[in-house]
């Protein structure tokens, strides 16, 4: 379970770095939001590919 969380935060961190700097006060919040967005995108892509 911890590995899944680390992967989500890794994806979120990569996306969050594009929007705000690591020194920003709200970086962890943006990182978590981008992680959830990345996880949802992967889930939607998986579901759409399985429908065919």
Neighbours of 36 (CB within 10 A): 13
Of 46, 25, 4, nearest in space to 12 by CA = 4
Q: Do residues 43 and 22 make contact, with C-beta atoms less than 8 angstroms apart? A: no
What is the residue-level pLDDT of the chain in tens, covering all 52 positions? 789 888 888 888 888 989 898 898 999 999 999 999 989 998 999 999 998 7
């Amino acid at each position: 379970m911890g590995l899944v969380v680390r992967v989500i935060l890794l994806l979120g961190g990569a996306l969050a770095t594009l929007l705000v700097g690591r020194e920003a006060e709200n970086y962890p919040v943006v990182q978590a939001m981008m992680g959830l967005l990345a996880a949802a995108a992967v889930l939607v892509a998986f579901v759409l590919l399985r429908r065919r």
